[in-house]
Amino acid sequence: MKDTETLAYINLYGLLGALKDLCALAPEARRLADNPALPGGKPLTVGFAVKNGPAMTLRFDRGTCEPVIGEGPCDIRLPFSSCEKFNGLIDGTVTPIPHKGFTRLKFLTKNFMDLTKILEKYLKASPEDLADPAFFKASTTVMFFLIAQAVVQIGNHDKIGRFTASNLVDGVAALSIANYDGDAPLRVGIAVKDHRLSLTRELPAHYHALMEFSRLKLARELFDGKVSALGCVGQGLIIMEGNLGMLDNINRILDRAAVYLT
């Protein structure tokens, strides 16, 4: 069963937050983000505020998209009366009514909606698209950060996830894909403080646990449910080091993420 509030946090912080990586990796998305509706090439901000739920502002500037957690000044403001209403925006059953920014609706109805369509293409990629190595890398990268964000939100909001998070000690667990860019890995950290989770892309020099996929293709196969994580660990294709109890609990939350992302 999906919890509506948890799904709203994943949809906002994870799914719409993924526009950051999409614009960085997909040229067609970058072009849309580089066409703001404000004069003089100024940044344009779109704010989402969900009653009794998450809030975030997306800042579009020269081809980039930067998500900022929380409410703040924005050019276009989209309020939602409930988590159900916001989730309806994501599944296409609810049309939002802006409370601010009516003169800039062209960006919302054209550029932003086109960005979400491109995001869907990268997250629900066809075999033909994945045959292109550049697309494959970008698609898997966007998915990697989305899944990590989903783990955080499930650990903080989902009933089962919170129970698992209650067993986590303070520290940072790194999720990694080896040899992502030459010899350099792609990494993200899940930080734990007082059983609350947060995502960090700047890892400390010393972290408490590491789970690393041996290659990008393996990570993708695992994300798509084509291989078993346990089997990959047994074959040495996934390396687990440090606090194994911490990784075990994070993997339990990771299993729960599949419920929300399918």
pLDDT, tens digit, for every residue of 71-106? Answer: 999 999 999 999 999 999 999 999 888 988 887 888
Give the residue from 114, 109, 23 showing the smallest Cα distance to 65: 23
Is residue 37's pLDDT more than 70? Answer: no
Mean pLDDT value across residues 214-234: 89
Whole-number pLDDT of residue 38: 64
Whole-number pLDDT of residue 228: 82
Q: Which of 69, 92, 124 is the last residue of a domain?
A: 124
Q: What is the mean pLDDT of the chain?
A: 93
In one-letter notation, the amino acid at residue 72 is: G
Q: Which domain holds residue 74?
A: 4-124
Do 177 and 250 fall into the same domain? yes
Contacts of 48 (CB under 8 A, 6+ apart): 12, 16, 54, 55, 56, 57, 58, 78, 80, 86
Is residue 6's pLDDT more than 90? Answer: yes
Whole-number pLDDT of residue 39: 66
Do 154 and 223 fall into the same domain? yes
Whole-number pLDDT of residue 204: 87
Question: Which is it for the CA torsion 10, 159, 164, 254, positive or negative?
Answer: negative
Whole-number pLDDT of residue 12: 98
Q: What is the CATH number of the domain that holds 58?
A: 3.30.1050.10
Tokens 């999720």 belong to 175
The first and second tokens of residue 25, run together, are 């990796």
Whole-number pLDDT of residue 205: 87
Number of structural domains the chain divides into:
2
Mean pLDDT value across residues 183-203: 95
Mean pLDDT value across residues 26-46: 84
Whole-number pLDDT of residue 227: 85
Whole-number pLDDT of residue 113: 93
Q: Which of 97, 124, 151 is the last residue of a domain?
A: 124
Q: Which of 72, 91, 124 is the last residue of a domain?
A: 124
Do 144 and 222 fall into the same domain? yes
Is residue 41's pLDDT more than 90? Answer: no
Q: Is residue 57 left, alpha or beta, with left meaning phi > 0 and alpha meaning psi from -120 to 50?
A: beta
Tokens 């990590």 belong to 148
Is residue 261's pLDDT more than 70? Answer: yes
